């Protein structure tokens, strides 16, 4: 399948232990009833930076530190940037995060608060990326990619090890899909320990670079479109070295979601699971609610939905949940309201 072996994943687990949480796998009674088979949520939302990205970043940085590297750089302002900043501080090395001047001040402050230096360069993500490359070339920084690197993949794979340990008869693992570091790692770890398990990738309908690349048979560029699943945006790199071929080899099915479905996933997570999720993390729940994970009679065993992160803007979260709340009275059929009233009187 690739040079990455289970041994690499167990070594990654030892390396990140104490810096990254072993996260809970909890059954959702509501989703289990809907699916007709047990549904479990793997809660990466409880990681110190609010997403699983800390696993891959910590493994990659720990390896760099072992090799004597003292300074790392990235251009991500999202979950990967946060994870790199956090991991660098924990390991006692320097981190720089390159950003364009258009990045909002609250994001800049969030990265500074984690102890990283912020380099402002140009007016686009490409400009920020070029500044990161300059720091690598001229100042001896090591670049830490967000997904397309064996150490990052091995870090994310530790999620797969934990799932199989906690649920050896897992039948179906549902993974939010963007650059494919998470998918490749989890799929390698799960399929090597539980070869019969199915692996589904879930992403948004528009602007999904991995899906477009799988369809084209090679990495392609897509236009970035605004989406509630913002952590799933961005390209996979035309020079993709690992995650494209691994995803192509290991993926059993891809589910594409529209924005309304993703919003329903966020609302369901909040109201029925008591979880605040960012859009990218709610896509597994959304896919199940929309009936995209196969019908109940076909399900042979437990489904695991990887719930990848909690980093949603809380004003946006309030708007989504609020809008769903206001929409509700009209959507409840009159007969149901009658029984509710009766119930209240009883």
Cβ proximity to ligand PLP, 53 vs 211, nearer residue? 53
Nearest to 60 by CA among 135, 158, 177, 180: 158
> What is the rounded distance in angstroms from the CA atom of residue 153 to the CA atom of residue 173?
17
Report the nearest approach of ligand PLP to the CB of residue 18 (Å): 22
Report the nearest approach of ligand PLP to the CB of residue 182 (Å): 4
Nearest residue to ligand PLP on Cβ basis? 309
Cβ proximity to ligand PLP, 80 vs 172, nearer residue? 80
Report the nearest approach of ligand PLP to the CB of residue 215 (Å): 17
92: left (phi over 0), alpha (psi -120 to 50) or beta: left
Is residue 143 within 8 Å of 121, Cβ to Cβ? no
Report the nearest approach of ligand PLP to the CB of residue 82 (Å): 9
Other beta carbons within 10 Å of 79: 27
Distance of CA 328 to the CA centre of its chain: 29
Cβ proximity to ligand PLP, 98 vs 236, nearer residue? 236
Residues that bind ligand PLP (CB under 6 A): 51, 53, 79, 147, 176-183, 231-232, 278, 280-281, 308-309
> What is the rounded distance in angstroms from the CA atom of residue 107 to the CA atom of residue 280?
18
Report the nearest approach of ligand PLP to the CB of residue 232 (Å): 6
Q: Distances in Å between the alpha carbon of 131 and those of 97, 122, 144?
A: 10, 9, 14
Cβ proximity to ligand PLP, 179 vs 207, nearer residue? 179
Cβ proximity to ligand PLP, 53 vs 268, nearer residue? 53
Report the nearest approach of ligand PLP to the CB of residue 55 (Å): 10
Q: Distances in Å between the alpha carbon of 51 and those of 41, 122, 174, 206, 239?
A: 14, 28, 16, 23, 26
Cβ proximity to ligand PLP, 37 vs 191, nearer residue? 191
Cβ proximity to ligand PLP, 179 vs 237, nearer residue? 179
> What is the rounded distance in angstroms from the CA atom of residue 305 to the CA atom of residue 42?
6
Report the nearest approach of ligand PLP to the CB of residue 116 (Å): 17
> What is the rounded distance in angstroms from the CA atom of residue 70 to the CA atom of residue 35?
49
3-state secondary structure of 305: strand
Cβ proximity to ligand PLP, 37 vs 178, nearer residue? 178
Is residue 235 within 8 Å of 225, Cβ to Cβ? no
Distance of CA 92 to the CA centre of its chain: 26
> What is the rounded distance in angstroms from the CA atom of residue 25 to the CA atom of residue 163?
7
Report the nearest approach of ligand PLP to the CB of residue 230 (Å): 9
Alpha helix (H) ranges present in 290-333?
Answer: 314-331
Cβ proximity to ligand PLP, 178 vs 200, nearer residue? 178
Report the nearest approach of ligand PLP to the CB of residue 172 (Å): 18
The radius of gyration of the chain's CA atoms, rounded to the nearest angstrom, is 20
Place of tokens 């940037």: 81
The C-alpha torsion from 209 through 210 and 212 to 215, rounded to 10°, is 170
């Amino acid at each position: 399948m690739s040079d990455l072996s289970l041994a690499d994943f167990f070594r990654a687990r030892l390396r990140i232990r104490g810096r990254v949480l072993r996260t809970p796998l909890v059954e959702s009674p509501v989703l289990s009833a809907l699916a007709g088979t047990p549904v479990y949520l793997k809660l990466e939302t409880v990681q110190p930076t609010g997403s699983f990205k800390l696993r891959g970043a910590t493994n990659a940085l720990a390896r760099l530190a072992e090799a004597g590297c003292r300074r790392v750089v990235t251009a991500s302002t999202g979950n990967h940037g946060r994870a790199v900043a956090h991991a660098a501080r924990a390991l006692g090395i320097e981190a720089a995060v390159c950003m364009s001047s258009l990045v909002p001040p609250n994001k800049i402050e969030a990265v500074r608060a984690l102890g990283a230096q912020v380099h402002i360069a140009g007016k686009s993500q490409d400009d920020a990326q070029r500044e990161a490359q300059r720091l690598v070339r001229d100042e001896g920084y090591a670049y830490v990619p967000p997904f397309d690197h064996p150490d990052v993949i091995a870090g994310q794979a530790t999620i797969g090890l934990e799932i199989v340990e906690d649920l050896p008869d897992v039948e179906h693992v549902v993974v939010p899909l963007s650059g494919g570091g998470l998918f490749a790692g989890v799929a390698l770890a799960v399929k090597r320990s539980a070869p019969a398990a199915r692996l589904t990738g879930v992403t948004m309908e528009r602007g999904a670079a991995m899906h477009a690349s799988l369809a084209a048979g090679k990495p392609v560029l897509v236009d970035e479109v605004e989406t509630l699943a913002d952590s799933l945006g961005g390209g996979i790199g035309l020079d993709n070295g690992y995650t494209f071929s691994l995803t192509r080899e290991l993926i059993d099915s891809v589910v594409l979601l529209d924005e309304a479905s993703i919003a329903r996933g966020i609302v369901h997570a909040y109201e029925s699971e008591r979880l605040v999720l960012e859009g990218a993390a709610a896509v597994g729940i959304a896919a199940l609610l929309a009936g995209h994970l196969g019908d109940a009679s076909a399900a042979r065993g437990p489904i695991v939905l990887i719930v990848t992160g909690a980093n949603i803007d809380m004003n946006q979260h309030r708007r989504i949940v609020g809008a769903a709340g206001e929409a509700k009275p009209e959507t409840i059929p009159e007969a149901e309201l009658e029984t509710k009233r009766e119930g209240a009187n009883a």
